[in-house]
């Protein structure tokens, strides 16, 4: 069987799985899986760009996804004029001062004489900078958070169209990736891994604590959406009569219609990014990236700028994750920093890339769909398995109750087992790199 | 008097908690650094190995408590810890046989082993949650305090109290004993010497007839013991929750790297560096400064440099500074 046929067969099998979900469970949950699958596929594309193309070990995906989510708040929510009046300029000035003191420190570092003078000088610049920054920043933040704390208490966004938030999410993630890449990309692979892991935790900590920015753990809810609201559709006589004409109840029909709208939008984004990634892979640039990945020393000897290329691909991959993060927050309609967990948003994406086939864009996309499907479906499946296992036990058996309660934790176990099996028996994934 | 009050407040809120936390981190980082030195990869599953060993210890503790066996003033968990170590050792040896040995034989790149350890992390995390559930578990019993704040005040007549929780005392004492044993083992026994030789130069060690599988086996056993002890002490001192143990990965790695990956001495130093900086930077200094400064200079705010939620940022920034200016860590670890 040639590879093209095999790949087509794999994607058709994936589509059949989704269709089966639609028939057996409900079309609503099938569309739900499809939508998150599309987003997961985009995240997997981003990680594949970094790991598959260039061999960069980024376990900070969660941070970039969360930054994308932040972008969709900052772009789409209406601004809060009272908060801006209360502390907007103060916050901006404080941030500028903070950035300036770091800038001065970086500027001064090579210019100060080595030894004690440099240590003391750097210390003085940073300490004074920190005090000045806190002095300007803290009162402004307090003023903003005092404005209607129950409903706003933050600066709000720009009130721009939703679709604009997605590219901006990418830009925000790219900016963070530039800073991280500048400082950490020279490190060895496992150091880069720890560094990115740490950055992701810091980004989540910022989102949780900086209430003036995105309300922290108080969450921003009711984000504007690119598709109509279910309620509006149900109140629209035209829509209701069409739905009834199709033999659907208007509530179900409206929810399906909305999810389908999201699916169409996300598919367009995925196809564009996939096309770009394929172009990149087969271009001279893609060949150079793979050459660097396979033998850095040789590539450097051939005059390739290894550090520069690494930075480039790190930024691009993170931007793709940021776009996916913004799309996900739009789909959820809310930003909830408490829900970002590394196992779900970093390591699961890695499972997708490894299972799908690192180095192959189609593989990453397939892995995104398949692993997301399993992540959702393992729970009902293991619930069923547990029912069968415990069927013979007494009704009030403690073991039985424990087993039935624990089905929710089977997903992590299953993901780990799948990943280990693939790494052992098919280390190049379902659709291997050519 | 004011000065002594300041010293007491400082030790109560900064020095003692940081000492206990630092010992826990140091034990965790020792495990990471040993695996790095002998097996040559960063083990992402270490946090979950700690959680697994602690879980076995907790289950044994509950069983002991239910049949009425205890240690009097000491927590029962100390009695259950050897069983936890055995359980954890069985688990890591099983993963080594079924997972890591295959890749070792193939001599794959370290980064592949890191990815494999991510898979092991998922499995262990899932197992722990499956067996004991994702919630908080408290299993400390026995005396709560070595010395309470009130006793300290009546004893010294100072305004500030100093409390030493028994779990903090036990942590530090256990850590000292465990680290002493480990260094004795590495320096004086034949197996310990062969481990160090293997870590320094694998080819030379193999030529001198050192059995690599034996070295690896002993390493896993030591790592299991260290992870269980570290996890149990952390759980006694704070509380046990699988997700927290997973998150400990970051400060533990930071400690190991700051000290120099592959250097046991560095891991200990790194653990205390990270713990002390986390606690000092997130502590509200007002209480101490009130005693030290004249009244006119007393601070109005809390004088907290960063809120406690940013403690990850602290370990991370220290990690970055060390990596940028001294990439092999404070104690010159290896850089493969």
Concatenated DSSP letters of B195-235: HHHHHH-HHHHHHTT--HHHHHHHHHHHHHHHHHHHHHHHH
DSSP string, A26-46: -HHHHHHHHHHHHHHHHHHHH
Taking Cα atoms as reference points, which of A68, A92, A272 lies closest to residue A162?
A68
Measured between beta carbons, the chain A residues lying within 8 angstroms of B131 are 406
Question: What's the ipTM?
Answer: 0.88
Point out the least confidently predicted range of A40-44, A246-250, A372-376, A427-431: A246-250
- More confident call, B214 vs B162: B214
How many Å is the Cα radius of gyration of chain B?
A: 21
Cα angle A376-A379-A383, degrees, rounded to a multiple of 5:
155
Both tokens of residue A75? Answer: 């772009």
d(CA B32, CA A341): 23
User: Does the pLDDT at position A5 exceed 80?
Assistant: yes
Cβ atoms < 10 Å from Cβ of B130: 20
Residue among A194, A405, A417 whose CB faces B319 most closely: A194
DSSP H or E stretch at residue B284: none
Residue contact B116–A420, C-beta within 8 A: yes
d(CA A388, CA A379): 14
Q: Once rounded to an integer, what is the mean pLDDT over residues A95-109?
A: 86
- More confident call, B142 vs A320: A320
Point out the least confidently predicted range of A103-112, B44-53, B252-261: A103-112
Per-window interface: B 159-188 vs A, CB < 8 A: none
Nearest CA distance, B171 vs chain A (angstrom)? 26
**HSE (CB half, 13 Å, CA atoms) of A279?**
6
Residue among A184, A190, A416 whose CB faces B122 most closely: A416
**A1 confidence band (pLDDT: 50, 70, 90):** low
Q: What are phi and psi of B269, to 5 degrees?
A: -60, -45
DSSP H or E stretch at residue A154: none
| Cβ contact A144:A91 at 8 Å | yes
Residue among A183, A413, A416 whose CB faces B320 most closely: A183
Both tokens of residue A93? Answer: 């000035």
Taking Cα atoms as reference points, which of B24, B216, B54 lies closest to residue B127?
B54
Measured between beta carbons, the chain B residues lying within 8 angstroms of A205 are 309-310, 312-313
Chain A residues at the B interface, defined by Cβ less than 8 Å, are: 55, 57, 130, 183-184, 187-191, 193-195, 197-199, 201-202, 205, 208-209, 341-343, 347, 350-351, 354, 405-406, 409-417, 419-420, 423-424, 427
Taking Cα atoms as reference points, which of B1, B82, B51, B78 lies closest to residue B239?
B51
Enumerate the β-bridge partners of residue A335: A220
Residue contact A187–B323, C-beta within 8 A: yes
Residue contact B118–A419, C-beta within 8 A: yes
User: Does the pLDDT at position A422 exceed 60?
Assistant: yes
User: In whole numbers, what is the pLDDT of chain A averaged over residues?
Assistant: 86
Q: What are phi and psi of A76, to 5 degrees?
A: -95, -30
| Cβ contact A135:A276 at 8 Å | no
User: Does the pLDDT at position B244 exceed 80?
Assistant: yes
pLDDT of residue B300: 67
Point out the least confidently predicted range of A47-56, A360-369, B140-149: B140-149
Per-window interface: B 82-111 vs A, CB < 8 A: 99, 102, 110-111
Residue contact B123–A413, C-beta within 8 A: yes
Residue with tokens 């004993």: B177
Q: What are phi and psi of A56, to 5 degrees?
A: -90, 130
Residue to mutate among A416, A419, A421, A422, with most B CBs inside 10 A, is A416
pLDDT of residue B247: 87
Point out the least confidently predicted range of A75-89, A198-212, A357-371, B224-238: A75-89
Q: For residue range A361-409, what is the model confidence (pLDDT) as tens digits?
A: 999 999 999 999 999 988 888 888 888 887 777 777 777 777 777 777 8
Measured between beta carbons, the chain B residues lying within 8 angstroms of A428 are none
Cβ atoms < 10 Å from Cβ of A294: 10
Measured between beta carbons, the chain A residues lying within 8 angstroms of B116 are 420, 423
Strands (E), chain B: 145-147, 164-165
pLDDT of residue B334: 62
Measured between beta carbons, the chain B residues lying within 8 angstroms of A415 are 122, 126
User: Does the pLDDT at position A85 exceed 80?
Assistant: no
Most confident of A84-88, A323-327, A379-383: A323-327
pLDDT of residue B128: 92
Q: Is the minimum CB–CB distance between B250 and chain A shorter than 8 Å?
A: yes
pLDDT of residue B333: 64
> How buried is residue A1: exposed, middle or buried, by Cβ count under 10 Å (0-12/13-18/19+)?
exposed
Helices (H) and strands (E) in chain B, counts: 16, 2
Cβ atoms < 10 Å from Cβ of A43: 32
Taking Cα atoms as reference points, which of A371, A331, A404 lies closest to residue A68?
A331
Q: Once rounded to an integer, what is the mean pLDDT over residues A16-40?
A: 90
Residue contact B41–A190, C-beta within 8 A: yes
Both tokens of residue B158? Answer: 């100072």
Q: For residue range A210-250, what is the model confidence (pLDDT) as tens digits?
A: 888 788 778 888 888 888 887 788 888 888 888 888 777 88
d(CA A328, CA A36): 8
**Structural domains in chain B plus CATH codes:** 2-325 (1.10.3470)
Cβ-proximal residues to A264 (8 Å cutoff; 6+ apart), any chain: none
- Percent of chain A topping pLDDT 90: 30
Residue among A184, A201, A427 whose CB faces B250 most closely: A201
- What is the DSSP-derived secondary structure letter of residue B238? S
d(CA A25, CA A17): 11
Cβ-proximal residues to A27 (8 Å cutoff; 6+ apart), any chain: A256
Task: Give the three-class secondary structure for A222.
Answer: coil
User: Does the pLDDT at position B336 exceed 50?
Assistant: no
d(CA B328, CA A254): 59
Taking Cα atoms as reference points, which of B68, B219, B57, B234 lies closest to residue B131?
B57
Per-window interface: B 131-150 vs A, CB < 8 A: 131, 133-134
Closest residue, chain A, to B260 (C-alpha):
A191
Residue contact B122–A351, C-beta within 8 A: yes
| Cβ contact B51:B128 at 8 Å | yes
Enumerate the β-bridge partners of residue A220: A335
User: In whole numbers, what is the pLDDT of chain B averaged over residues?
Assistant: 87
Residue contact A195–B123, C-beta within 8 A: no
pLDDT of residue B176: 93
User: Does the pLDDT at position A77 exceed 50?
Assistant: yes
Residue among B102, B253, B309 whose CB faces A194 most closely: B253
Residue among A341, A409, A419 whose CB faces B129 most closely: A409
> How buried is residue B220: exposed, middle or buried, by Cβ count under 10 Å (0-12/13-18/19+)?
buried
- What is the DSSP-derived secondary structure letter of residue A113? P
Helical segments of A77-161, H only = 81-108, 116-145
pLDDT of residue B140: 83
Q: For residue range A132-173, what is the model confidence (pLDDT) as tens digits?
A: 888 888 888 887 777 777 777 777 778 888 888 899 999 999
Both tokens of residue B201? Answer: 């130069």
| Cβ contact B291:B8 at 8 Å | no
> How buried is residue B106: exposed, middle or buried, by Cβ count under 10 Å (0-12/13-18/19+)?
exposed
Nearest CA distance, B50 vs chain A (angstrom)? 17
Nearest CA distance, A344 vs chain B (angstrom)? 11
Cβ atoms < 10 Å from Cβ of A287: 11
CA distances from A346 to A58, A196, B332 (A): 9, 10, 31
Taking Cα atoms as reference points, which of A220, A240, A224, A249 lies closest to residue A70?
A220
Q: How many residues does chain B have?
A: 336
Q: Is the minimum CB–CB distance between B41 and chain A shorter than 8 Å?
A: yes
User: Does the pLDDT at position B73 exceed 80?
Assistant: yes
| Cβ contact A293:A54 at 8 Å | yes
Residue contact B312–A201, C-beta within 8 A: yes
| Cβ contact A371:A351 at 8 Å | yes
d(CA B124, CA A383): 20
d(CA A120, CA B138): 46
- What is the DSSP-derived secondary structure letter of residue B283? S
Q: Once rounded to an integer, what is the mean pLDDT over residues B165-193?
A: 91
Q: Once rounded to an integer, what is the mean pLDDT over residues B315-322?
A: 82
């Amino acid at each position: 069987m040639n590879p093209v046929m095999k790949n087509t067969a794999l994607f058709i099998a994936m589509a059949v799985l989704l269709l089966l979900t639609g028939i057996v469970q409900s079309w609503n949950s099938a569309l739900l899986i499809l939508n998150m699958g599309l987003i997961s596929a985009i995240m997997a594309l981003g990680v594949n760009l970094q790991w598959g193309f260039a061999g960069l070990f980024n376990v900070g995906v969660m941070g970039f996804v969360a930054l994308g989510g932040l972008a969709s708040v900052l772009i789409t929510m209406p601004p809060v004029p009272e908060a801006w009046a209360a502390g907007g300029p103060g916050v901006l000035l404080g941030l500028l001062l903070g950035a300036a003191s770091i800038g001065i420190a970086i500027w001064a570092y090579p210019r100060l004489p080595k030894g004690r003078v440099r240590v003391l000088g750097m210390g003085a610049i940073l300490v004074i900078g920190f005090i000045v920054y806190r002095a300007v920043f803290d009162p402004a933040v307090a003023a903003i958070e005092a404005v209607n704390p129950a409903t706003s208490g933050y600066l709000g966004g720009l009130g721009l169209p939703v679709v604009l938030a997605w590219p901006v999410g990418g830009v925000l993630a790219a900016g963070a990736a530039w800073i991280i890449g500048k400082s950490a990309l020279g490190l060895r692979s496992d150091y880069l891994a720890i560094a990115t892991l740490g950055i992701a935790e810091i980004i989540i900590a910022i989102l949780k604590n900086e209430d003036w920015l995105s309300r922290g753990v108080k969450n921003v809810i009711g984000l504007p959406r690119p598709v109509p609201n279910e309620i509006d559709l149900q109140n629209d006589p035209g829509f209701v009569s069409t739905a009834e004409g199709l033999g659907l109840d208007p509530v179900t029909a409206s929810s399906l219609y909305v999810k389908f709208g999201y699916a169409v939008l996300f598919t367009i984004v995925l196809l564009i990014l996939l096309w770009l990634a394929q172009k990149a892979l087969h271009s001279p640039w893609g060949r150079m990236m793979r050459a660097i990945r396979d033998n850095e020393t040789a590539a450097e000897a051939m005059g390739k700028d290894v550090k520069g290329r690494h930075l480039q691909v790190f930024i691009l991959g993170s931007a793709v994750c940021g776009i996916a993060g913004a799309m996900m927050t739009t789909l959820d309609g809310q930003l909830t920093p408490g829900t970002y967990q590394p196992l779900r948003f970093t390591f699961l994406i890695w499972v997708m890339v490894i299972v799908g086939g690192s180095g192959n864009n189609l593989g990453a996309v397939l892995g995104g769909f398949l692993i997301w499907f399993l992540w959702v479906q393992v729970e009902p499946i293991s619930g069923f398995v547990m029912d069968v296992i415990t069927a013979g036990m007494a009704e009030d058996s403690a073991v039985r109750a424990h087993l039935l309660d624990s089905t929710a934790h089977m997903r992590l176990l299953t993901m780990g087992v799948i990943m280990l099996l693939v790494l052992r028996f098919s280390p190049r994934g379902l659709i291997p790199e050519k | 008097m004011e000065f002594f009050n300041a010293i007491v407040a400082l030790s109560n809120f900064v020095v003692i908690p940081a000492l206990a936390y630092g010992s826990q981190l140091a034990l965790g980082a020792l495990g990471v650094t040993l695996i790095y030195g002998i097996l040559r990869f960063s083990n992402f599953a270490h946090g979950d190995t700690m959680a697994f060993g602690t879980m076995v210890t907790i289950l044994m503790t509950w069983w002991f408590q239910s049949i009425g066996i205890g240690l009097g003033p000491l927590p029962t968990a100390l009695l259950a810890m050897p069983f936890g170590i055995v359980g954890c050792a069985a688990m890591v040896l099983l993963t080594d046989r079924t997972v890591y040995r295959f890749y070792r034989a193939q001599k794959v790149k370290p980064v592949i082993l890191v990815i494999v350890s991510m898979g092991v992390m998922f499995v262990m995390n899932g197992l722990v949650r499956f067996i004991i559930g994702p919630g908080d578990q408290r299993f400390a019993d026995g005396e709560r305090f070595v010395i309470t704040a009130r006793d300290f005040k009546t004893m010294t007549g100072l305004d500030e109290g100093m409390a030493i929780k028994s779990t903090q005392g036990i942590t530090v004492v256990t850590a000292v004993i465990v680290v002493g044993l480990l260094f004795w083992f590495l320096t004086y026994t034949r197996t310990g010497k062969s481990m160090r030789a293997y870590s320094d130069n694998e080819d030379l060690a193999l030529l001198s007839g050192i059995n690599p599988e034996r070295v690896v086996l002993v390493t896993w056993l030591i790592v299991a013991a260290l992870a269980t002890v570290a996890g149990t002490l952390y759980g006694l001192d704070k509380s046990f929750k699988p997700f927290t143990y997973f998150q400990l990965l970051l400060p533990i790695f930071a400690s190991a790297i700051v000290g120099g990956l592959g250097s046991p001495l560095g891991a200990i130093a790194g653990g205390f560096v990270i713990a002390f900086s986390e606690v000092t930077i997130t502590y509200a200094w007002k209480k101490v400064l009130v005693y030290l400064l004249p009244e006119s200079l007393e601070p109005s705010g809390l004088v907290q440099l960063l809120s406690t939620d940013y403690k990850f940022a602290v370990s991370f920034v220290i990690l970055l500074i060390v990596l940028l200016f001294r990439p092999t860590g404070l104690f010159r670890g290896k850089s493969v």
